[in-house]
Amino acid sequence: MSIWEGILIFWIVGVCLAMWKIWRPSYKVILAIDENNILVTRPITSTFVVAIIFTIFLPFMVIPLLIPERLEEFVLGFIKGAKRFKNNGI
């Protein structure tokens, strides 16, 4: 296995871990709080967009993934930011 394959495996596993530990709980809370949120009304598109964002910013997300207190702060901030997006029918 080359170094690039190792980096690619690390990156894919990191994005999957971020989706599981950040996106999944956030989605459940947003679903419970606001059913009109665009992240809830279009789950496939929102999951795809969040996965792309997590892929780009994975190095910055290592700390929230490793430290539980930071993870909780990050998820709460993510939910707070996501509450601003409403489905306007487009």
Residue 40 is predicted with a pLDDT of 87
Any idea which residue has 């709080």 for tokens?
Answer: 33
State pLDDT tens for residues 10-63.
999 999 999 999 999 999 998 998 888 888 888 999 999 999 999 999 998 888
Rounded Cα distance between 31 and 68, Å, is 23
Residue 36 is predicted with a pLDDT of 83
Residue extents of the structural domains in the chain: 3-82
Rounded Cα distance between 15 and 55, Å, is 6
What is the total residue count of the chain? 90
For 20-89, the three-class secondary structure string (H helix, E strand, C coil) is: HHHHHHHHHHHHHHCCCEHHHHCHHHHHHHHHHHHHHCHHHHHHHHHCHHHHHHHHHHHHHHHCCCECCC
Residue 89 is predicted with a pLDDT of 59
